[in-house]
Amino acid sequence: MRVAIASDHAGFEQKAPLAQYLSDKGFTVIDEGPDNAERVDYPDYAKRVADAVAEGRADRGVLICGTGIGMAIAADKVHGIRAANIINPEFAALCREHNDANVITLSGRFVSLEENKRILDAFFETDFGGGRHAGRVEKIMALEN
Ligand code: RB5
């Protein structure tokens, strides 16, 4: 699986270790930046990862900012993206099972690196449940039209 990852300055410290964590698990990680911890605008990096997923260059996306909130709001503006801001492993599993989320956004300031690793485990190990959830996700995507 190809995973695009990016952060802003507030998520930068966790980006490399999380990218390495995913790489060690066998994922192909595409680092969409930034290259340093200088102040940047999170929508620019949300767009990079969202575009990579929407255009099929990546299967999933991971975004890290201070809260994860701005990254989710921005990424969800891109057609084809279902981004969820997640702060615990239970919600990570549910955003996959119920919502078929294809981008996860994380908090670099309020959630520890170790907890974010557990969140990524749940996100990548949980399949979409389909069934009654499928029609609801279709209705979400129809809102883009
Ligand atoms: C940057 O200060 C902060 O606003 C950003 O990282 C993020 O938390 C926005 O949602």
pLDDT tens sequence across 103-138: 999 999 999 999 999 999 999 999 999 999 999 999
Ligand 1 pocket test target in 7, 40, 67 with most atoms within 8 Å of CB:
67
* Section 1-17 average pLDDT: 98
**66, 8 contact by CB (below 8 A):** yes
Q: How far away, in angstroms, is 143 Cα from ligand 1 center?
A: 27
The pLDDT score that the predictor gives to residue 130 is 97
Give the E-state strand segments of 1-145 in sequence order.
2-7, 28-31, 60-65, 83-85, 103-107
Strand order in the sheet with 28-31: 28-31, 2-7, 60-65, 103-107, 83-85
The pLDDT score that the predictor gives to residue 81 is 98
Which residue's CA is the nearest one to ligand 1's atom 6? 66
**Catalytic residue check, 133:** no
Confidence of residue 13 (pLDDT cuts 50, 70, 90): very high
pTM for this predicted structure = 0.98
Ligand 1 pocket test target in 45, 64, 71, 106 with most atoms within 8 Å of CB:
71
The token pair at 138 is 């279709």
The pLDDT score that the predictor gives to residue 104 is 99
**5, 19 contact by CB (below 8 A):** yes
For residue 33, count other CB atoms closer than 10 A to its CB. Answer: 16
**112, 76 contact by CB (below 8 A):** no
Cβ burial of 23 (10 Å; 0-12, 13-18, 19+) is middle
The pLDDT score that the predictor gives to residue 29 is 98
pLDDT tens by residue, 50-87: 999 999 999 999 999 999 999 999 999 999 999 999 99
